[in-house]
Structure 1
Amino acid sequence: MTAMMAWPRKDGRKGIRNVVLVAYLVECAHHVCKQIARPFPDGDVQVVGFSGCFPSDYGQDMMAALCTHPNVGAVQLVSLGCENFKKGQLAEAIRASGRPVNVITIQDVGGTGAAIKAGRDWVQQTQSEIMALPKVEMEVSELVIGTICGGSDATSGITGNPAAGVAFDMLVQEGATCIFEETGELIGCEHVMADRAANADLRPAIIASVDKAAKYYAAMGYGSFSNGNATGGLSTIEEKSLGAYAKSGQSKIAGILRPAQTAPSGGLYLLDVVPDGPPKYGYPNINDTAEIIELISCGAHAVIFVTGRGSVVGSAISPVLKVCANPETYTRMSGDMDVNAGRVLEGGATLQDVGTEIVERLVSLGQGQKTASEDLGHAEFVLTYKSAAPKEPGCHPN
């Protein structure tokens, strides 16, 4: 397999992208950020941010993790000036990571027009500098890959999700880090997952994480099941859970992560995205983009996205590789898809074939190739309020 080439970071990680982030620290600065990024349409300059003005440890931790992600080369922070976000703390974390960072405060520089000009000037100069930096070789063992499913139908659990699981097993065997999540869509599978725990302490923690999700959704009065799932042939959350579970493959589960945490070593990890305590922050994941961003916050270089009905979203920071489970959907929406797992239903490929293709496509992303969503300009981003996650969930292997 041809080696990947990546940008080295101060903390030892490597990035398969070298994005300049333009980050708003309150919704009032969002427009300015969009205008700063507007002259740079090639995808190497992307807008992210936290919209809330009320303090949020979760938002602070997530922005710190995202702004120091291995795929990020530099960050332009944009503040209105009166929000509660700790912009100095975030800027220092970025600076300590070895990345160029600039802070613009709209109220101090003279308003919208002045802020846009200052931001564009800095981004243009900094982008030229970071793209000229030399790249180094990167091994498959250094990859961090996340997986989710969205727009699921009855084919998702038969083709796309198990093929993603095959890819995960192959990657874990190579020493890579693989992260799956959606505990709200793993209800009923918790004891099966617990049997795959790498150590005894992890077993009850896996069960507890899914039980917490079930109670949270019950309190909200609505689970992670959409009208589109039913129209696509799924009957219950349990049936949907079986498909979601298949994405994890068969490897031992090495630990549980929380958003903005990075895994201590290679292996398979479960990402627990449901807040602790009573449900005071709304639904844990209001859409697929929010889930993708939390996977990326854990360092995912790319995300495998399995869809049956057909999803079009990509993401800021990391490429999203679309695996289409339904052959009819692939025919209709091939321009948005990267891998046709529906070939399994038609007898044109095995799950092993598709899993191998997924791994090959992920490696190609580190060789300069782009996903369909990148080519189409998708760079969706959602970050909402959520309770702060503990720094260590206590489930890592010794």
Structure 2
Amino acid sequence: MNDTFKGFLRNDGKVGVRNHIAIIPSVFCSAKVAERIAYQVPGCVYFRHPVGCSQVGEDLEITAKTLISIGKNPNFAGVVVVGLGCERFSPYELAEGIAPANKMLETVVIQKEGDSLAAIQKGSRIAREMQQIASRQVREEVPVSELTIGLNCGGSDMTSGLIANPALGHASDRLVKNGGTSLLSEITELLGTEEILARRAVNAEVSNDILETVRRTEEKLFRQTQQSSNIERTHLISKGNYDGGLSSVVEKSLGSMKKSGKASFSGVVSYGEQPKSKGLYLLDSPGHDGEVSTGQVAAGAQMILFPTGRGTPTGFPGVPVIKITGNPNTYQRMQENIDINAGEVLLGNQTLEEMGEGIYQEIIEVASGKQVKAEILGHDEQFCVTRLP
């Protein structure tokens, strides 16, 4: 079996599986200019968000850490930071945070350039020059230990916990065993499994960190649900989950944790930060698909593995999202959105282990350049910086 892939070596020692130029606004006021720059130059991706100003304290700190870490992700050969000029999170602070990654980096400030048109013109020229340089870089063979994957899911049904998630867990175990890194998140969808996860910790400190992470989430959810006047809005699973055969958040959590396989947890990662070493990590994050994926990409994930029983088309800018379904009916309906039909296990055509091995090989192929369906169709909805409640 192949345990290497062909990626783009970066100056900071990391490896990208894509070679895009990222256009990152420091504030929502510069988002449209960033978008226009990206549209001018093929190979660019941009990151629209509604934050960067009128935030204080930890709320602004999370925004800063997340945007900086997104810019450092090795899938991006270069970054153009686009600022307005008067925002609380300065574009220069964003650029300075990205700078240690030692990649192509420039800053465009709308108020300094004079207006939107001037900023778009300058940013487009810079992005074109970066893209020309990036286009000359070739892929090189590297071990899978250079890979970090995010484990996310959305639109779950009864087949997710039975088939797609455990098959992905097998693939995650293979990657971790070969020295790679895997990130489990969606804390709101792990409630009730914390004791099980804690027993898989490498030491007592990590075990306590896992228990404390889940405890904090439970306390936050309790406060939020006490304030709601609509009982339907206090449910932790969606109507689609119920319709798909899931009976409770406990059942959903027991299925969700299977994405992480059986490997030991090396630690817990805060939102907007990166693991200190290789292995399986728990990433502290809300359960919203976009906030989860964004946190994982900020933590260094070069791709996202995304089981979906009900089906979803969403993707992430510049980061491949591999869609997996354990429901053969969903695959038939959404073949243009789903990459892997794990429903073959349900039909008796493959074992969970065989499907897991197939997912592992798909990870390697995608890391080496194979496009996933979300990329081909231009889906980029999953970028979403979290905010404090």
The TM tier, using the shorter chain, reads over 0.9
* Partner of residue 70, structure 2: 66
Pair 1:35-2:39 in alignment: no
Deviations 1:329-358 (A, max 9, x none): 000001101111111111111111111111
Deviations 1:72-118 (A, max 9, x none): 11111111111111221221233332211121111121211111111
* Partner of residue 240, structure 2: 228
* Partner of residue 155, structure 1: 159
Query: What SS does structure 1 have at the residue aligned with 2:171?
Result: helix
Q: How does 1:269-348 map to 2 (within 5 A)?
A: 269-273=281-285, 284-285=286-287, 287-348=288-349
8 A Cα contact 1:146 1:304, kept in partner: yes
* Partner of residue 263, structure 2: 251
Q: Under a length normalisation based on structure 2, what TM-score does the superposition of the two structures give?
A: 0.92
Residue segments in structure 2 that go unaligned for 5+ positions in a row: 226-233
User: Which amino acid in 2 is paired with 1:59?
Assistant: T
User: What is the alpha-carbon distance in structure 1 between the residues aligned to residue 347 and residue 105 of structure 2?
Assistant: 51
* Partner of residue 362, structure 1: 363
Q: How does 1:57-96 map to 2 (within 5 A)?
A: 57-96=61-100
User: What is the alpha-carbon distance in structure 2 between the residues aligned to residue 174 and residue 242 of structure 1?
Assistant: 26
- Single out whichever of 203-212 and 181-190 deviates more from structure 2: 203-212
Shift of residue 175, structure 1, vs aligned partner: 1.0
Shift of residue 167, structure 1, vs aligned partner: 0.7
Query: What SS does structure 2 have at the residue aligned with 1:370?
Result: coil
User: What is the alpha-carbon distance in structure 2 between the residues aligned to residue 247 and residue 375 of structure 1?
Assistant: 25
* Partner of residue 372, structure 1: 373
Deviations 1:111-156 (A, max 9, x none): 1111111111111111011221343321111111110110001111
User: Which amino acid in 1 is paired with 2:46?
Assistant: V
Q: Under a length normalisation based on structure 1, what TM-score does the superposition of the two structures give?
A: 0.90
Shift of residue 296, structure 1, vs aligned partner: 0.8
Pair 1:260-2:272 in alignment: yes
User: What is the alpha-carbon distance in structure 1 between the residues aligned to residue 37 and residue 294 of structure 2?
Assistant: 22
User: What is the alpha-carbon distance in structure 1 between the residues aligned to residue 199 and residue 260 of structure 2?
Assistant: 13
Deviations 1:8-27 (A, max 9, x none): 22221111111111111111
User: What is the alpha-carbon distance in structure 1 between the residues aligned to residue 264 and residue 365 of structure 2?
Assistant: 26
Deviations 1:158-181 (A, max 9, x none): 110111111111111111111101
- Which of 107, 114, 124 does residue 128 from structure 2 map onto? 124
Residue segments in structure 1 that go unaligned for 5+ positions in a row: 274-283, 388-398
* Partner of residue 231, structure 2: none
User: What is the alpha-carbon distance in structure 2 between the residues aligned to residue 223 and residue 383 of structure 1?
Assistant: 23
Shift of residue 263, structure 1, vs aligned partner: 1.9
User: Which amino acid in 1 is paired with 2:26?
Assistant: L
User: What is the alpha-carbon distance in structure 1 between the residues aligned to residue 73 and residue 47 of structure 2?
Assistant: 13
* Partner of residue 51, structure 1: 50
* Partner of residue 391, structure 1: none
Query: What SS does structure 2 have at the residue aligned with 1:163?
Result: helix
**Compared with structure 1, are the counterparts of its residues 117 and 100 closer, same or farther at alpha carbon in structure 2 (3 Å cutoff)?**
same
* Partner of residue 395, structure 1: none
**Compared with structure 1, are the counterparts of its residues 2 and 171 closer, same or farther at alpha carbon in structure 2 (3 Å cutoff)?**
closer
- Single out whichever of 356-365 and 220-229 deviates more from structure 2: 220-229
* Partner of residue 386, structure 1: 388
- Which of 179, 185, 191 does residue 189 from structure 2 map onto? 185
- Which of 104, 115, 119 does residue 100 from structure 1 map onto? 104
* Partner of residue 279, structure 1: none
Shift of residue 376, structure 1, vs aligned partner: 0.8
Query: What SS does structure 1 have at the residue aligned with 2:162?
Result: coil
8 A Cα contact 1:151 1:308, kept in partner: yes
User: What is the alpha-carbon distance in structure 2 between the residues aligned to residue 312 and residue 117 of structure 1?
Assistant: 33
8 A Cα contact 1:217 1:223, kept in partner: no
Query: What SS does structure 1 have at the residue aligned with 2:161?
Result: coil
Identity %: 35
Shift of residue 202, structure 1, vs aligned partner: 1.7
Runs of 4+ with >3 A deviation:
none
User: Which amino acid in 2 is paired with 1:311?
Assistant: T
User: What is the alpha-carbon distance in structure 2 between the residues aligned to residue 199 and residue 158 of structure 1?
Assistant: 29
8 A Cα contact 1:330 1:337, kept in partner: yes
User: What is the alpha-carbon distance in structure 2 between the residues aligned to residue 3 and residue 180 of structure 1?
Assistant: 23
User: Which amino acid in 2 is paired with 1:386?
Assistant: L
* Partner of residue 10, structure 1: 11
